């Protein structure tokens, strides 16, 4: 599901955009989550536990999964579908968390991509996949991170290994193929040049090529309005027209919503396919202290409730949503281990195996 891109402008004007593509409504709402929340991994007795160091603004799936968001330090996390995911086994006893918390764990704990990658290198824990709500299959996901410095990382699971791609250069990703093959596509199309020809289908590989070309081609300016408009124009260009879906390939489906995050000014923009307006939340206008309530902006069926402008005052205090749990023992897991992580060159692929 989806496309993600980062924009690196002058004077630290960094933005990250993503589209959410799926065949049915995923029940998205927007939440502000304060720091200080105690969390557990939702996999039973072996659950990893932590306390949120940073408050965040997130978009959910079914109010059970953090799919997208930014924390108060400017770290952005995006979950995208990766059908090629292959997970190693988990023994049911080592420290673990449900995949529904994977993005939130990053937002809760880290200020920069480098900190998150270093944690993955040093900390042994498993990320256990769970059944997609309403469907008879397990989630197959990869995770992108970006921060206010323009740094990026993509974490995915190939042939039973965790693979981490870490570099400022990794500005664009889609939900397929695996990222190493997306980089090969980039090299191929670099020789052709987007002014000559660009692939135009809804396939993830084609969306990757278009997003990469346009992310480089648009004006790179410090002016917030121009930069934001430019980034929105690119993520719209790689969106899938509403009403289109491909049977058995939900990652080639209608774009339901788009987000753009301004890392410099800490603004979270949201655009639904079914409403005429972009609206946003300025993190400086919300209270994410440990004494604050969680708050929710209910977007309605298919995110059809209409909002415009800054909406933090429209959010309603609520108990935090409950993350989707995973079975306490599973053969479909993602294992994060420092045992064999590639440390020699952190800007190239590093892998680990359980």
Q: How sure is the predictor about 163, in pLDDT bands with cuts at 50, 70 and 90?
A: confident
Q: Is the pLDDT of residue 194 over 70?
A: no
Q: Is the pLDDT of residue 73 over 90?
A: yes
Pairing of strands 172-174, 3-8: antiparallel
Token digits of residue 255: 């774009």
**Mean per-residue pLDDT for 7-24?**
93
pLDDT in tens, 248-286: 665 568 889 999 999 999 999 999 999 989 999 999 999
**pLDDT above 90 as % of the chain:** 55
Q: Is the pLDDT of residue 205 over 80?
A: no
Question: Which amino acids are annotated catalytic?
Answer: 2
Determine the pLDDT at residue 342. 32
Q: Is the pLDDT of residue 197 over 90?
A: no
Q: How sure is the predictor about 182, in pLDDT bands with cuts at 50, 70 and 90?
A: low
Q: Is the pLDDT of residue 233 over 50?
A: yes
> Residue 46, Cα to own-chain centre: how many angstroms?
25
**Mean per-residue pLDDT for 217-239?**
92
Determine the pLDDT at residue 188. 54
Determine the pLDDT at residue 186. 65
Q: How sure is the predictor about 181, in pLDDT bands with cuts at 50, 70 and 90?
A: low
Q: Which residue has the higher pLDDT, 302 or 190?
A: 302
Q: Is the pLDDT of residue 287 over 70?
A: yes
Q: How far apart are CA 97 and CA 49, in angstroms?
A: 9
Question: What mean pLDDT is reported for the chain?
Answer: 84
Give, in order, the Cα–Cα distances in Å from 90 to each of 96, 142, 254, 342.
9, 18, 34, 21
| Contact of 81 with 23, CB cutoff 8 Å | no
> Residue 91, Cα to own-chain centre: how many angstroms?
27
Q: Which residue has the higher pLDDT, 93 or 292?
A: 292
Determine the pLDDT at residue 124. 76
| Contact of 18 with 2, CB cutoff 8 Å | yes
| Contact of 58 with 33, CB cutoff 8 Å | yes
The secondary structure of the chain, three-state, reads CCEEEEEECHHHCEEEEEEEECCCCCCCCEEEECCCCEEECCCCCCECEEECCCCEEEEEECCCEEEEEEECCCCEEEEEECCCCCCCCCCCCCCEEEHHHHHHHHHHHCCCHHHHHHHHHHCCEEEECCECCCCCCECCEEEEEECCCCCEEEEEEECCEEEEEECCCCCEEECCCCHHHHHHHHHHHHHHCCCCCCCCCCCHHHHHHHHHHHHHHCCCCCCHHHHHHHHHHHHHHCCCCCCCEECCEEEEECEEEEEEEECCCCEEEEEECCCCCEEEEEHHHCCCCCCCCEEEECCCHHHCCCCCEECHHHCEEECCCCCCCCCCCCCCEEEECCCCCCCCCCCCCEEECC
Determine the pLDDT at residue 171. 85
**Mean per-residue pLDDT for 127-146?**
82
pLDDT in tens, 301-349: 999 999 999 999 999 999 999 999 876 554 455 555 443 333 233 333 3
């Amino acid at each position: 599901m989806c496309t993600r891109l980062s924009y690196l402008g002058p004077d630290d004007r960094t933005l990250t955009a993503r589209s959410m593509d799926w065949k049915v409504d995923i029940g998205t709402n927007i939440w502000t989550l304060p720091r200080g929340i105690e969390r557990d991994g939702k996999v039973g007795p072996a659950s990893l536990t932590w306390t949120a160091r940073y408050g965040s603004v997130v978009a959910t799936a079914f109010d059970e999964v953090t799919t997208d968001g930014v924390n108060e330090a400017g770290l952005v996390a995006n979950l995208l579908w990766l059908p090629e995911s292959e997970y190693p086994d988990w023994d049911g006893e080592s420290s673990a968390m449900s995949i529904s918390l994977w993005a939130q764990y990053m937002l809760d704990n880290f200020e920069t991509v480098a900190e998150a990658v270093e944690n993955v290198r040093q900390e042994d824990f498993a990320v256990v996949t769970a059944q997609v709500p309403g469907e008879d299959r397990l989630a197959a996901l990869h995770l992108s991170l970006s921060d206010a410095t323009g740094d990026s990382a993509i974490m995915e699971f190939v042939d039973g290994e965790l693979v981490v791609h870490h570099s400022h250069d990794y500005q664009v990703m889609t939900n397929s193929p695996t990222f190493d093959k997306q980089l090969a596509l980039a090299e191929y199309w670099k020789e052709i040049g987007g002014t000559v020809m660009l692939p135009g289908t809804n396939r993830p590989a084609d969306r990757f090529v278009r997003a990469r070309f346009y992310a480089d081609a648009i004006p790179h300016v410090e002016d917030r309005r121009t930069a934001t408009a430019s980034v929105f124009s690119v993520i719209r260009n790689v969106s899938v027209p509403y009403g289109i879906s491909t049977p058995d390939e939900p990652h080639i489906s209608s774009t339901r919503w788009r987000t753009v995050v301004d890392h410099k000014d800490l603004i979270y923009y949201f655009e639904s396919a079914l409403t005429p307006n972009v609206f946003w939340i300025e993190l400086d206008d919300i209270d994410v202290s440990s004494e604050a309530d969680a708050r929710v902006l209910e977007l309605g069926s298919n995110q059809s409730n209409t909002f415009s402008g800054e909406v933090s005052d429209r959010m309603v205090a609520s108990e935090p949503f409950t993350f989707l749990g995973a079975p306490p023992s599973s053969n479909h897991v993602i294992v994060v281990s420092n045992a064999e992580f590639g440390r020699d060159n952190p800007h190239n692929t590093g892998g680990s195996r359980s």
